[in-house]
Amino acid sequence: MGAPTERGRQRRTGRRLGAAVGMAALAGLAWAVRDVPLALGGRLTGARAERALHSPQFRAGAFRNPASSRPAASPTTGSTDRNLLRELFFGKQQRHPRLPVPLVRPLGAPEPPTHSPELNVVWYGHASTLVEIEAHRVLIDPVWSQRCSPSARVGPKRLHPPPVGLDELPAVDAILISHDHYDHLDLATVRGLVAGQDAPFVVPLGIGAHLQRWGVPEHRIVELDWSESHDVAGLRLTATPAQHFSGRGLRRDATLWSSWVIAGAHRSVFYTGDSGYFAGYAAIGAGYGPFDATLMQIGAYDRAWRDIHMFPEEAVTAHLDLRGGLLIPVHWATFNLAVHDWSEPVDRLWAETKARDVRLAVPRPGQRVVVDDPPPVDGWWQAVA
């Protein structure tokens, strides 16, 4: 047999190089998804599954939206006259701030709560918010991870760091979760709160399965259906309807989603969770309002999924339906989850609140808003957008 030709050597080298590249790609994929199975959470079994079956919101094998026999559209469905993936990757929108988002850090250690009717709100970014109400504290939808994704290595990345570390949070009386999407329920954050806090997790039906798999003690899990309440530290936390969907893997709507009423003896706050605009806001306002403040979802909207995320103008309408006092926007600025400009949600909101004479506060991440004496809206985001 003759000596190998140059072309033959090149082919063998190419095959070896291709195999090496393939192995590297597989190793990279394994590295990227190694934490995914746990992040997907748990499945409804036993008493949790039985309770879901008896919920008025559970029909035809899944949780449903109000007065609806089918799930709402999701960001993967809806309008077919656009290529959303192409727009996501190649659209001309300015979907990131051009300069760093200004953060506000507290001065010194958190002060112990005092017995007073004061009501404060600290927005940490996206939907993560601390409500200080009548000397008690409620933490809402905390996400401190770098990405909102089943993987800690790929997925939407934060546009600004948390203004405080998770271990710097003051002691809280309750941790509220609105639904199980990754930008509202985060494995690493839950584990940090299990280790660093003693408060119960108050969640919609089914989410306890995720928490149980992640090591949350059963006595710290409180699951509620719509219109059910849990009393803790002198506060009443009530799950109220929302128009959205749920799911952390391929299965949709196995857990419930919710908005929340946080009520003390004299003060109250409403939080939308994620929701499209629907008639239920007026009913919530009539049944639980008026509210001193509303925390309104304003970002990550698109006409392709308007059933599940409000436009900013709809958030103002919902605030009025709810009989809200001060409107504080959430669910914007931190994660890039839609194809609108980064600052568009709050620009549109500001214009609408001025047109409809609605009181508005737009804090920087980490800034405390005293609801009875809110800071004037100063357009701080426009300087970095």
Rounded to 5 degrees, φ, ψ at 240 are -125, 160
d(CA 121, CA 133): 9
pLDDT the model gives residue 250: 85
Per the structure block, which two tokens stand in for 330?
């959430």
Rounded to 5 degrees, φ, ψ at 292 are -65, -35
State the architecture of 119-383 in CATH terms.
4-Layer Sandwich (3.60)
pLDDT the model gives residue 4: 59
Residue 134's Cα: distance from chain center in Å? 25
Which residues in the chain show pLDDT less than 50? Answer: 1, 20-32, 69-71, 76-80
CA nearest to 145, candidates 157, 130, 135: 157
Residues in the chain: 385
Per the structure block, which two tokens stand in for 296?
């309104």
- Between the two ends of the chain, the Cα-to-Cα distance in Å is 69
CB atoms inside a 10 Å sphere around CB 368: 14
pLDDT the model gives residue 311: 98
pLDDT the model gives residue 240: 98
pLDDT the model gives residue 75: 53
The ranges assigned to domains in the chain are 8-39, 119-383
Q: Are 182 and 226 in contact (CB under 8 A)?
A: no
CA nearest to 159, candidates 11, 289, 343: 343
The CA–CA distances, whole Å, from 255 to 42, 48, 62, 150, 290 equal 10, 10, 8, 17, 29
CA nearest to 374, candidates 11, 121, 129, 126: 121
d(CA 121, CA 140): 11
Q: What CA dihedral angle connects 377, 370, 127 and 176, to 10 degrees?
A: -160
